[in-house]
Amino acid sequence: MGKFFKAMFSEGGAVSSKRVVTAMCLFFMLIAFTSNLFCGYTVEQHMFESLQWIVMAGLGFTASEKFSEIISNRKNQNHE
């Protein structure tokens, strides 16, 4: 299980801080949503939305890195 999490949070052997922060914020969002839904705790809207923006930005940056890597590899292949 440790290898799974290390592979999920790493890129090229090094742990990516963007992925770790995004996963932590997603985890906190799920806790807030569940506690609001089932336990009756009130979660402030601005707190939930700020976590939501961090998760969306983190996923967007991670996805854009993958696409930029693919595009740069194609450019390098075309120039060879």
First to last CA, the chain: 41
Read out DSSP for 49-77?
Answer: HHHHHHHHHHHHHHHHHHHHHHHHHHHHH
Quote the number of domains for the chain.
1
Domain that holds residue 50: 2-79
Res 54 pLDDT > 90: yes
Res 28 pLDDT > 90: yes
Convert the pLDDT of each residue in 56-77 to its tens digit: 998 888 777 777 777 777 766 7
pTM of the model: 0.70
